[in-house]
């Protein structure tokens, strides 16, 4: 049977949801992944692209405003508000890091019959020379540390391929809050949780076919 393949953040959204919402989340994600239309899949793409440009721009705000201009001309319900909230959260955070963008790679991470596509949205080089690989969460519900740990662990185990010797981060862009893995995190328990959630995702995906 073919592997189920989604992004690391799609899996994180599933893991952070309550039991009642999981089937709906998988149904929505399945519809997006199997759609051939960019209309369905690309709601946040203009802002994600703008964030990448902003990390290398002398005027990052102007890059984000370009994405908002796209939303102004778009009939998509809620896109303008979403992009404005993302700008308001992301821009102060980016400016505070004083970092510049650097290239990042991509890889695939496997848990049983689930394949996660791991590609950080941003690679950042800080003034002190440290580097970070950042997955950017853009949805409306606030991200929690518990949910972020799922994505952080997947990213942590993928760093050799995406950006060696960098710090993995997950950014809740609307709130400008970056999550990192605490040294006190029980990795054995987290790995067991991820394995269980991966098995559940595959079951829900196949049941929604």
75-119 per-position pLDDT tens digit: 888 999 999 999 999 999 999 999 999 999 999 999 999 999 999
Residue labelled with tokens 């400016």: 95
Go through the chain and tell me how many residues it has.
Answer: 209
137, pLDDT greater than 80:
yes
38, pLDDT greater than 60:
no
What percent of the chain has a predicted confidence (pLDDT) above 70?
95
Q: What is the pLDDT of residue 204?
A: 87
Whole-model pTM: value is 0.91
171, pLDDT greater than 90:
yes
In the sheet that 131-137 helps form, which strands lie side by side, from edge to edge?
100-101, 122-125, 131-137, 167-172, 177-179
Q: What is the pLDDT of residue 20?
A: 65
Nearest residue to 44 via CA among 24, 18, 64: 64
Q: How far apart are CA 159 and CA 167, in angstroms?
A: 8
Q: Which residues pair with 131 in a beta bridge?
A: 125
Q: Is 11 left (phi over 0), alpha (psi -120 to 50) or beta?
A: alpha
Which residue did the predictor score with more confidence, 150 or 23? 150
39, pLDDT greater than 80:
no
């Amino acid at each position: 049977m073919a592997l189920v393949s989604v992004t690391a953040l799609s899996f994180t959204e599933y893991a952070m949801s309550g039991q009642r919402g999981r089937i709906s989340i998988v149904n929505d994600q399945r519809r997006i992944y199997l759609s051939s239309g960019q209309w369905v899949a690309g709601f946040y793409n203009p802002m994600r692209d703008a964030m990448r440009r902003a990390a290398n721009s002398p005027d990052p705000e102007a890059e984000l405003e370009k994405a908002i201009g796209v939303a102004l001309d778009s009939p998509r319900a809620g896109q303008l508000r979403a992009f404005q909230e993302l700008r308001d959260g992301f821009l102060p955070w980016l400016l505070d890091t004083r970092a510049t963008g650097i290239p990042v790679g991509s890889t695939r991470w496997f848990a049983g019959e689930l394949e996660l596509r791991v590609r950080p949205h941003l690679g950042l080089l800080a003034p002190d020379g440290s580097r970070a690989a950042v997955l950017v969460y853009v949805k409306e519900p606030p991200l929690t540390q518990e949910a972020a740990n799922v994505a952080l662990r997947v990213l942590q185990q993928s760093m050799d391929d995406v950006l060696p010797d960098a710090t993995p981060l997950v950014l809740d862009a609307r709130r400008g809050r970056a999550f990192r893995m605490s040294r006190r995190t029980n990795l054995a328990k987290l790995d067991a949780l991820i394995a269980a959630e991966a098995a559940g995702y595959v079951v829900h995906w196949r049941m929604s076919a």
